[in-house]
Structure 1
């Protein structure tokens, strides 16, 4: 009888040790800030940063309720820790922040960024009707893929999105399928795209947390980073623009000085629709470290004060105080 009790006691101790080891192992996965997802589009397995590792609102000394934006998240790039968040998992409309996904999918799917792509007249008629923002290319213009990518990110050109989407996917909807596949692969669990431009659609939504995952991933690509951090860019000559076109980044256009205390704002992508409000995905470097800030839902429009940019200055300047 005594031996039986000892065996039962040892069994319980062994079971307890196994549970502790398993829990500890799972905790280590989360705390290391790494999550692994299989790209269902058939590409290689990617290591994607998890943004659930650390949460600390004390890293920024301004109350989050003082932000103009209804949704915000601040992430430190090197360890993927969340330093501040406000309604970060609430559904939002991304407006032109959609184009971050459009650009990174196009970069990864195009083997030759010097390839010329035709922009057919039929595409422009639909964009004119939708009053979409355009980079300045003309119907039937032949444009290098790399120039279309800069046209997507700097002046937020919808014709550049459709041109690349049609060329890569065969149609915009086929390309959007690749965007949604990428979102799943990255763990953007509250995101669904219906177009490549960010034009308003009730079924086209995301969260600022999902967008921070996307931007953190995209910035690992050198081509994307170069485009995202460019303030100006001049395209190659085309059949419609023999001297090329010079773009200016819509964020930098509204910034007198990108310098912040201890660093500078390196790049950004603005977005706006009436339903989405003023949005901004930005990258800053401060005291030798890089930070991503994604905000959405600020009141205003293209003609008003740019409250999305005001929020970026406020957060980045107070960071670490």
Structure 2
């Protein structure tokens, strides 16, 4: 059947598309507007680490230790027990592919001696690279409204990563990791597996930023980089990136990204993700359907957007009337060209500790022991939800146990489970890889 829908909004806060070698801008919107980087922050965490390796202050086999401070970070995380040792190489793969926040902090502590010292290195590199509107307050990108960047600045960082450390480009191309018997998928996997020539780089998301991504694609010996900030969903940022690249390889660049000056606006107000919601299946297809693009070219496609486009839902709807997301992916990103093969990751064989600090930035690095770095403040909404869930759980357990709250023990596997980890386990109980298992609703018991 045919359904008439309003033209799909771009739902993108800011973006820029550049030539990775020259820095020439091919397309952009609000490229100098301040935005929250989310996990694109880990690009700088990786950059500072690669530089430490280049300068001989660390090696890929240097030791990283899970500290109490690093373990305190909220998910996404690996949840290794305090004292667990692994290599810098393992840490890099985990933060770039899995985007684990606890490992990002542990890596920073290993490279610089403390989280505070590592932040000084990050900001020093941002200044040196000319990232004029960027300020880092943590090494992972979790919410902090003091931490800002722009699409322009992140494009400069992405370009520097490729230019300065070409031997490290393979870190960005993997769609997932396999750690032991568990497989952890990258949020960038569909882009890497479906878009011709895709080879990186990093995704990010917090509510105040929406869905961000820094992507790169190589075709015919030419590489383009796109930075997209503030999409309404993971699929939208990926489909918009694919569309930018497909059009961008047909265009020539203009002014250099480094020539953009000043700032064109402040970051979005708190709660951006609640105002900029996912477009939905019809809107995705109205804007990103590759079959529509092929029929009339991009000019026809753009003209169609201005009017109420007719979207044939029959091609991407299941028999029960729900969207067939597998077909939507095929038609907005293209079919999978590469099989999903996660890279094997282990703790490795760490040897020796990095030489913390560096002469270029050591004087600016505060000497703060890792254990004295202030712990992050919990999201008040998430904290209230957890407290309410715990109260409901205790009430339910009290009714089951004859009115005696079960405070001495917790449900096995829960985040509050005091039982020791299994012998030889490297994971903190209840924090294996990602989010602690939530307590069951008392209504379902």
TM-score normalised to the size of structure 2?
0.50
Q: 2:166 aligns with which of 222, 225, 233?
A: 222
Q: 2: distance between equivalents of 1:142 and 1:229?
A: 25
Q: CA deviation at 1:249?
A: 2.6
Q: 1:315 aligns with which of 240, 244, 252?
A: 244
Q: Give the 3 Å change call, closer, same or farther, for CA 146–256 of structure 1 in structure 2.
A: closer
Contact 1:68 1:308 in 2 (8 A): no
Q: CA deviation at 1:135?
A: 3.7
Contact 1:94 1:198 in 2 (8 A): yes
* Unaligned stretches of 5+ residues in structure 2: 1-7, 251-445
Q: CA deviation at 1:313?
A: 1.3
Q: CA deviation at 1:233?
A: 4.2
Q: Does 1:123 align with 2:60?
A: no
Q: 1:169 aligns with which of 112, 116, 125?
A: 112
Q: CA RMSD in A?
A: 2.1
Q: 2: distance between equivalents of 1:71 and 1:230?
A: 26
SS at match of 2:98: coil
Q: CA deviation at 1:255?
A: 4.0
Q: 1: distance between equivalents of 2:85 and 2:192?
A: 34
Contact 1:283 1:290 in 2 (8 A): yes
Q: 1: distance between equivalents of 2:112 and 2:193?
A: 39
Q: 2: distance between equivalents of 1:244 and 1:164?
A: 24
Equivalence for 1:50 = none
Equivalence for 1:60 = none
SS at match of 2:212: strand
Q: Give the 3 Å change call, closer, same or farther, for CA 222–233 of structure 1 in structure 2.
A: farther
TM-score normalised to the size of structure 1?
0.69
Equivalence for 1:259 = 195
Q: Give the 3 Å change call, closer, same or farther, for CA 317–174 of structure 1 in structure 2.
A: same
Detail structure 1 runs of 4+ shifted over 6 Å in the superposition: none
Q: 1:112 aligns with which of 40, 53, 59?
A: 59
**TM-superposition CA deviations, 1:27-75 (whole Å, max 9, x none):** xxxxxxxxxxxxxxxxxxxxxxxxxxxxxxxxxxxxxx96331100000
Task: Figure out how many residues of one structure are paired with residues of the other and give that number.
Answer: 238
Q: CA deviation at 1:234?
A: 4.8
**TM-superposition CA deviations, 1:160-185 (whole Å, max 9, x none):** 11111111222211100000000010
Higher strand share: 1
Equivalence for 1:271 = 204
- Identify which range, 178-187 or 285-294, moves more after superposition: 285-294
Contact 1:278 1:306 in 2 (8 A): no
